[in-house]
Amino acid sequence: MPKRRTFLDPVLLARLSRKSRFTALKARLRTRLQTMQAAGGERAPRGGVKANGDHEMVIASYNVHKCIGTDGRFDPARIASVITELGADVVAIQEADKRFGRRSGLLDLKALERDAGLTLIPTSEEADGHGWHGNALFLRRGEVRDMRRLALPSAEPRGALVVDLELPAGPLRLVAAHLGLLRRSRRWQVRSILDAIEQGPRVPILLVGDLNEWRPGSKSSLLELKPVFGPLSQNHFSFPSYFPFIALDRVIGSPGLVTAMQVHDSALAKVASDHLPLKATIDIAAALKEMRGHEELVLNEVGS
């Protein structure tokens, strides 16, 4: 019996793409879907992502789909090559471990250290694991001041990492998460994350990961993040990698922190995983200045 294909099957799309009529139809369809999703969403900074001096750094998030590409191949070396392309200083990975049984790691750590200059931050409870509930973190330069594992409430195993970093650009609390498939579960998980990030010193905060939410506006399960993190952008489409029209992957920062953002859509990234990586430039000094300005405003209002 022949294998059943769906409209978004990458092999079928590749065959149809040779026909000019389908290429035009695909472009119109993607534009329409993206417009529908972005309606009511807020715009995040766009533009080229790069670090301009010591005060800025590049952060990336990538759901590697357990290193299985859209061609069905398990290829950790290919994932490592895509991560190297990013040129990021800090990288958050989702689905870095086996999901069932022993949660051993799936990434090529030697290639990531050799080619990308990235070192794994120890977060796994397993000796051969790479992350916590599949969430792994890699760092080029800097120190880890504190690390907490969050078991997020859900009908399925989900988790997040809350890591306090001392980076060359300054202090940063990084939250790396992979939220659930059910909207109700995501709301509970968001509340758990908000409770966790209140602990510790006041520093700029960045939430990155596959948040599994495509709905804009009042329908979004992420609304409670807005007072802390600012704009909940919907205009960076990363899924599926070969026909991206859904913004599942997010980089959401404290006011002033995120200065540029883009989807990394290289030819290799389009086949290495079913998600495209998302990367952003952050300016920790600018975010600290915003925080101090807000605190002074509050003090002035209290004293008046």
Q: For residue range 130-175, what is the model confidence (pLDDT) as tens digits?
A: 999 999 999 999 999 999 999 999 888 899 999 999 999 999 999 9
pLDDT, tens only, 95-133? 999 977 677 999 999 999 999 999 999 999 998 999 999
The two most distant CA atoms of the chain are separated, in Å, by 77
| Token pair of 16 as six digits | 């149809």
Q: What pLDDT score does 244 carry? A: 92
DSSP type of residue 42: B
Strand partners, 175: 162, 207
Q: What pLDDT score does 37 carry? A: 56
Instruction: Confirm if 91 and 62 have CB atoms less than 8 A apart.
Output: yes
Amino acid at 140: R
165 sits in which H/E element: strand 158-167
d(C-alpha 77, C-alpha 272), whole Å:
10
Length of the chain equals 304
DSSP type of residue 276: -
Classify domain 32-292 at the CATH superfamily level.
Answer: Endonuclease/exonuclease/phosphatase (3.60.10.10)
Residues of the chain under the 70 pLDDT cut: 1-23, 25-27, 29-47, 51-53, 101, 294-304
Cis peptide before 240 (omega within 30 of 0): yes
| Token pair of 295 as six digits | 């605190």
HSE-CB of 139 using CA atoms within 13 angstroms: 17
d(C-alpha 83, C-alpha 63), whole Å:
11
CA 75 from chain centre, in angstroms, equals: 21
Q: What pLDDT score does 219 carry? A: 85
Expressed in angstroms, the distance from the first to the final Cα of the chain is 77
d(C-alpha 267, C-alpha 154), whole Å:
35
d(C-alpha 155, C-alpha 180), whole Å:
8
Helix residue ranges per DSSP H, 72-137: 76-86, 109-115
Q: Domain ranges in the chain?
A: 32-292
Q: What pLDDT score does 29 carry? A: 66
d(C-alpha 181, C-alpha 178), whole Å:
10
CA 78 from chain centre, in angstroms, equals: 19
Angle at 110 (CA atoms; ends 127, 86), nearest 5 degrees: 115
d(C-alpha 258, C-alpha 254), whole Å:
8
| Token pair of 214 as six digits | 């495509």
Neighbours of 141 (CB within 10 A): 13
Decide the pairing of beta strands 90-94 and 56-63.
parallel
Instruction: Confirm if 211 and 248 have CB atoms less than 8 A apart.
Output: yes
Q: What pLDDT score does 23 carry? A: 65
Sign for the CA dihedral angle at 198, 201, 207, 211 comes to negative
Q: What is the DSSP string of 287-302?
A: HHHHHHHHHHHHHHHH
